[in-house]
Amino acid sequence: MKIYYLSATGNSLFTARELVKELAVKPAKKLVREPAGRSIQGRQDPVSLYSFREIRIMSHIHTDDDTVGFIFPVYFADIPREFLTCIQKMTFRPEAYIFAIATCNGVPGISLTTLDKQLQKQGNRLCAGFTLNMPGNALITPLAESEKRLKGFSHSIKEISAFIKNRRQAFPPAAVPTERLQALAVKMIGTNLVVNPNHFHVEQAACSGCGICQRVCPASNITLTGSTPCWEKNCIHCLACFHWCPRQAIRIGGPLSDRPRYHHPQIAIKDILPTSR
């Protein structure tokens, strides 16, 4: 089994790790990272976790696994475009059991139907799709609701695991036009007015020049000019730089100007930083 995930503040990474535990299969102890531009060939590992950071640099990804999973956050009522682009590079067994878990702040939008539509273009289907409500990292989730979601996580992941173990199928319904229009409107407003790098700024007095913002960015979109972060044009709107800044030097203008920092309580920055395998 292979599981591909995108995680900026830890919700999806924690979900992936807990799912592996519930499936009673230990992650492979060591995986070999292929050079940039090479494809991943199918392996016989019991279960392998691959991050967006790893797969985005590869030109083609092929897996012969019988079961393949995708775990990702919902951005602007849809699957993150950059993560979907990675999936477009993949080929699977015709009979592969493909599942997905979308972590979201209460609004899954059309994320699962978008993924299923793409998989159908590639000759497969999304056999099972799930949503998990988690504390949000963009719009603020009330503290009581965040605690409720974290407390209910264990029960939810057990149910999802049982569904996957039995290879049950539940194809997501096609999105109706109004749902797609709503998702498009949310994306346009979100990317231009809410989570726009043009609204980011750095409090120079607080910034230590540690470079953590650059290292946690899954899209390698941040460069340092001297010791000051600069955002390029490939932002995926994940807000990892904002939430993981140890000095809280990165600020967001507009509607999120008072937004507190968040990361999953059981995920540390070392889990997010890139590592050699």
Q: For 167-207, write each residue's pLDDT tens digit.
A: 999 877 666 667 767 777 666 666 665 677 788 889 999 99
Model pLDDT for residues 119-174, shown as the tens digit of each residue:
999 999 999 999 999 999 988 899 999 999 999 999 999 999 999 999 999 877 66
Amino acid residing at 83: F
Mean pLDDT of the chain: 88
Is 214:222 a contact under the CB 8 Å cutoff? yes
Here the tokens at position 134 are 């988690």
What pairs with residue 251 in β-bridges?
201
Alpha carbon distance 129, 238 (integer Å): 22
pTM, two decimals, is: 0.88
Q: Is 100 left (phi over 0), alpha (psi -120 to 50) or beta?
A: beta
pLDDT band at 276 (very low <50, low <70, confident <90, very high): low
Higher pLDDT, 32 or 75: 75
Contacts of 19 (CB under 8 A, 6+ apart): 3, 69, 71, 101, 157, 160, 161, 164
Burial environment of residue 188 by CB neighbours within 10 A (0 to 12, 13 to 18, 19 or more):
exposed
Give the domain ranges of the chain: 2-26+44-185, 192-271
125's tokens = 């289907």
pLDDT at 176: 64
Which of these CATH numbers, 3.30.70.20, 3.40.1440.10, 3.40.50.10680, 3.40.630.40, describes 192-271?
3.30.70.20
Write down how long the chain is.
Answer: 277
- pLDDT for 92-118, tens place per residue? 999 999 999 999 998 899 999 999 999
Q: Classify residue 253 as left (phi > 0), alpha (psi -120 to 50) or beta.
A: beta
pLDDT on residue 24? 73
Residue-level pLDDT at 195: 77
Please give the share of the chain, as a percent, with pLDDT higher than 70.
Answer: 85
CATH architecture of 2-26+44-185: 3-Layer(aba) Sandwich (3.40)
Q: Which structure tokens are listed for 49?
A: 């976790």
**H/E run at residue 130:** strand 128-133
